[in-house]
Chains A and B, each alone.
Chain A
Amino acid sequence: MRGMAALSGKRVPNRRMISSAAAENSWDDWLAEHAARFLLFARQQTRCGADAEDVLQESLVETWRRAQGRPETALVFATIRRRAIDLARRTDRRALREEIGGAPDSLWFAPEGGDAETTALLEAEVRRLPETQREVITLKVWGGLTFAEIATALEIPPGTAASRYRLALESLRQTLTPALS
């Protein structure tokens, strides 16, 4: 086969080249497919947009390297959460941001064309949820995880994850019903 390729003058990529290209494409495809939901969770777990981006990059690289390829989604969320906790312990950027007086520096959700106002209201209500409920509903709705996977990512029992999700839904129902009905 290689001899025939040499005779015909065509360059046949070897297995290593194919593997490297496949890995690169897989990384890019994975980012295009999931990076937005990972970033949403990272923004909720950190204190500012810069921290979220740092935690996101660190977590994606770490999980990809550990899994030698596309990792489990729940593992990525769990890593984001741990790295955000580590970062919060190392730095105290919240105090710095509050001194600066910064408002939320990034939007969590994509503004919809005809209903940007509702999206902004929904984001505001999600931000007001308790953190324990907010991270569960984020992983369930926008992360696409099951309660078992949420339990693994957040290191809580599955029943606790389900009850927090119900509480979050009930809270959002009360606040969003006037706007969405």
Chain B
Amino acid sequence: MNTPPSASIPPDPLSDEGLENRLHQTAPAPLDAVLMARLRQARPVLSESQTAAFGTGSGPRSAPGPVLRARRVLIPFRKPLAAAALAACAWAGWRATAPDSIPGPAHPTASVPENPPDSPPGLEFLPSQESRQHLLSVRELGVVRDSRQRPVRLMSATWLDENTYGDSALDPALRESRLRHEIVPVLLPTY
């Protein structure tokens, strides 16, 4: 029996542990003196509040700086501050949309003009002299319940509006008449 020579036997492969140990024995090349000096010169200058974190202890968060102390002072007031901020935002939003959202009369009414506004051109520029409303008819429509389940009687009213415009001294007076239907909710008393 011929045995192969030992030189031709492939070496045993390294184990993972052996290879890792060998890699760990190799150290990264150190920095040359010029680069190390350059990096030391480049030390970032922190602000006073930041450098205060290095006063004592082992880490940057061991000593609270002024920023952290300010946060601690504000923590008890965070809820009132948040409520005030929310109220301010809500008020600002309400102010921005107020002209479009404010209802005119205190009682909700649905005014249905009989005729579209067909005032003569330029009429709105004349000063108003007199305005009269004549109640022509009232009719009951029925009883409904509002959002709080209270009975509300709906009444339909027809008005005749008479407006008089013009400067009596210079221009002849202009008179405008319109029919206006209005649905008036009347809250019924409950006992």
A residues sitting closer than 8 Å to B (CB atoms) are 15-16, 18-20, 22-24, 26-28, 31, 35-37, 39-40, 53, 56-57, 60-61, 64-65, 67-70, 106-110, 112, 119, 122, 137, 141-142, 169, 172-174, 176-178, 180-181
Contacts and interface: CB of A to CB of B under 8 A. Distances in A.
B14 interface: yes
Query: Which of B11, B28, B35, B48 has the most chain A CB within a 10 Å cutoff?
Result: B28
B19 A36 contact: no
Nearest to A22: B54
Interface of B: 11-14, 16, 18-20, 22-31, 35-36, 38-40, 42-44, 46, 48, 50-55, 59-60
Given A22-B55, A142-B28, A173 B60 contact: no
Contacts of B24: 141
28 contacts: A15-B52, A16-B52, A18-B55, A19-B53, A20-B51, A26-B54, A27-B44, A31-B39, A36-B27, A36-B29, A39-B28, A61-B44, A64-B43, A65-B44, A69-B53, A70-B60, A107-B29, A110-B26, A137-B23, A141-B20, A141-B24, A172-B19, A174-B13, A176-B14, A176-B22, A180-B18, A180-B22, A181-B13
B181 to A, nearest CB: 70
A174 B10 CA distance: 11
A114 to B, nearest CB: 12
B40 A31 contact: yes
Contacts of A137: 23
